[in-house]
């Protein structure tokens, strides 16, 4: 079995089926966030190389769209086998490049496998329709066709899965793709995926990976005339910019943006179970998850008991080297992120918040912090916190819980814990989110269930039928089997 993760090869651009150095005059230094050691340096792609990537995808897509869907799906079967065969290699680079723990790496790889299994089915599910007409002798056919080429911009937190979440379905539905991974995870989120599909026999030119930065290419990736759809996963600030630029060029967007999820504990909840769900929902991958429970809302009648158990469990979490199988909380992605989260905590405490647990920050390692006693207008309550910080907020009754949960510009995920499932459903329907889970965590993603948010958490949905809608278009072809009568 050949090696999949060869850093010398993967520290390059992948354009038109060729591995080659970027033509930019500077390099992105890929750094291990735990120990600060460089993993690789990659010369950035230029605007001209972005153009080459899109033109290659455009050329290759014309032939790919005509490939029998049963043949097309074989690529994704092989890609799944390659992923399974090289799981340990991929685990190692997830740990090194993004500071994911072994538990996190396993979780991300499992999600990626599910996405490839779903991609295997998609070529057979892009169905057209025949519709009736009020005109005698007329037949209306609706053909569902690939959009052509999709531009994908992926984030650093779950880079393998969140890149594949758009790339694999877009390819499976007959499109070409140009992928730009995040600068902090160019291998796991980008060139590793190119290598995976290269091994699986994807035709050259269909998938291109450009490792670059807005400082080099500006908005060229979005403005380019070839892509018809831009799929972006990242912050709401950047997502807003992507949407504005894309709209100006009449491109569709799928935006999976940030969150500020609330996990709500009602007075009849199983508290031990709710504690377990809340700890995982907040501290998975150091809190660097868009669906993470930033806020834990607890009915005041059970606040004291819940909070004591919650803090006690958090104190048992191990912070440290992500290579250690016993580590639950590894490093944040970079020093800037660690400094920014630490500053937000300091500001909240200075404004009167109580720290039930105050974790120290050492470099990129940040131990858990639990804050309570926040004023309703505290800025930290309305922000997405991409770090191991959780806010405990008491409430009196369901109406106040709904009001607090909805008092944020975001609306991605959430959870409700209760002994009465239908009570939980009634409350969940009042929360302004795209997803919410009864008696579970806030972090969930399943390949056939629509995934996406409301408000500033995004536009559009992915997974299942939603993915087909996102990466295909409808074409109406009518056939007049009789002679039409025209008014002149």
The dihedral sign for the CA sequence 297, 300, 304, 306: negative
Give the residue among 230, 196, 16, 201 at the shortest CA–CA distance from 93: 196
- Look at strands 252-256 and 458-459 and give their pairing: antiparallel
Please state, in angstroms and as integers, the Cα–Cα distance from residue 248 to each residue in 219, 241, 255, 303, following that order: 12, 11, 16, 49
Q: Measure the CA–CA gap between 368 and 319, rounded to whole angstroms.
A: 9
Active site residue: 108, 216, 256, 384, which one?
256
- Look at strands 149-153 and 176-180 and give their pairing: parallel
Q: Measure the CA–CA gap between 130 and 107, rounded to whole angstroms.
A: 42
List the structure tokens of 472: 């295909």
Farthest-apart Cα atoms in the chain, separation:
83
Name residues whose C-beta falls within 8 Å of residue 295's C-beta, 6 or more positions apart in sequence.
260, 261, 262, 263, 381, 390, 391, 392, 393, 404, 405
Q: Measure the CA–CA gap between 185 and 52, rounded to whole angstroms.
A: 22
The dihedral sign for the CA sequence 274, 279, 284, 288: positive
Give the residue among 356, 276, 352, 278 at the shortest CA–CA distance from 311: 356
Active site residue: 49, 198, 216, 290, which one?
290
Any catalytic annotation for residue 290? yes
* Strand partners for 92: none
Q: Is 480:486 a contact under the CB 8 Å cutoff?
A: no
Helix (H, G, I), strand (E, B) or coil at 188: helix
- Look at strands 252-256 and 229-233 and give their pairing: parallel
Give the residue among 120, 15, 19, 125 at the shortest CA–CA distance from 78: 120
User: Which value, to the nearest 10 degrees, does the dihedral of the CA atoms of residues 191, 197, 124, 173 take?
Assistant: 40
**Dihedral-angle region of residue 218 (phi above 0 means left; psi in -120 to 50 means alpha; beta otherwise):** left
Q: Measure the CA–CA gap between 442 and 412, rounded to whole angstroms.
A: 9
Question: Cβ-count burial of 238 within 10 angstroms (0-12 exposed, 13-18 middle, 19+ buried)?
Answer: middle
* Strand partners for 131: 140
Give the CB-side neighbour count of residue 392, counting CA atoms within 13 A.
27
Any catalytic annotation for residue 256? yes
Catalytic residues: 256, 290
């Amino acid at each position: 079995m050949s090696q999949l993760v060869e850093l010398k090869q993967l520290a390059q651009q992948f354009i038109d089926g060729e591995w080659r150095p970027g033509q930019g005059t500077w390099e992105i230094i890929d750094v291990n966030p735990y120990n600060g050691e460089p993993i690789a340096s990659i010369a950035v792609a230029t605007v001209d190389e972005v153009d080459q990537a899109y033109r290659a995808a455009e050329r290759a897509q014309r032939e790919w769209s005509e490939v029998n869907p049963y043949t097309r799906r074989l690529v994704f079967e092989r890609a799944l086998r390659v992923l399974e065969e090289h799981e340990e290699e991929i685990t190692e680079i997830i740990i090194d490049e993004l500071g994911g723990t072994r538990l996190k790496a396993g979780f991300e790889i499992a999600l990626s496998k599910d996405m490839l299994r779903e991609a295997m089915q998609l070529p057979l599910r892009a169905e057209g329709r025949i519709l009736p007409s009020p005109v005698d002798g007329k037949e209306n056919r609706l053909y569902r066709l690939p959009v052509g080429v999709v531009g994908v911009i992926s984030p650093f937190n779950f880079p393998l899965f969140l890149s594949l979440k758009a790339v694999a379905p877009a390819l499976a539905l007959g499109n070409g793709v140009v992928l730009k991974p995040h600068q902090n995870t160019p291998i796991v989120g980008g060139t590793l995926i190119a290598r995976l599909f290269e091994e699986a026999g994807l035709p050259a030119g269909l998938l291109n990976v450009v490792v670059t930065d807005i400082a080099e290419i500006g908005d060229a990736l979005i403005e380019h005339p070839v892509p018809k759809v831009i799929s972006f996963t990242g912050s709401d600030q950047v997502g807003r910019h992507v949407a504005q630029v894309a709209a100006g060029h009449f491109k569709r967007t799928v935006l999976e943006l940030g969150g500020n999820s609330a996990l709500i504990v009602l007075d009849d909840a199983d508290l031990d179970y709710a504690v377990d769900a809340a700890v995982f929902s907040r501290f998975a991958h150091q809190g660097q998850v868009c669906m993470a429970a930033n806020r834990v809302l607890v009915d005041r009648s059970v606040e004291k008991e819940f909070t004591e158990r919650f803090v006690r469990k958090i104190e048992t979490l191990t912070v440290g080297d992500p290579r250690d199988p016993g580590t639950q909380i590894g490093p944040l992605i970079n020093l800037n992120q660690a400094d920014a989260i630490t500053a937000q905590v300091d500001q909240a405490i200075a404004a009167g918040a109580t720290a039930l647990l105050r974790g120290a920050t050492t470099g990129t390692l940040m131990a858990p912090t639990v804050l309570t006693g926040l004023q309703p207008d505290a800025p930290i309550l309305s922000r997405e916190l991409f770090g191991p910080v959780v806010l405990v907020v008491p409430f009196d009754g369901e109406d106040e819980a709904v009001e607090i949960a909805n008092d944020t510009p975001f609306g991605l995920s959430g959870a409700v814990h209760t002994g009465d499932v239908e009570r939980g459903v009634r409350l969940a329907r009042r929360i302004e989110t795209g997803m919410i889970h009864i008696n579970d965590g806030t972090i969930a993603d399943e390949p056939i269930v629509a995934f996406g948010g409301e408000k500033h958490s995004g536009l559009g949905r992915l997974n299942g039928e939603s993915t087909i809608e996102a990466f295909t278009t409808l074409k109406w072809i009518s056939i007049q089997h009789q002679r039409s009568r025209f008014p002149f």
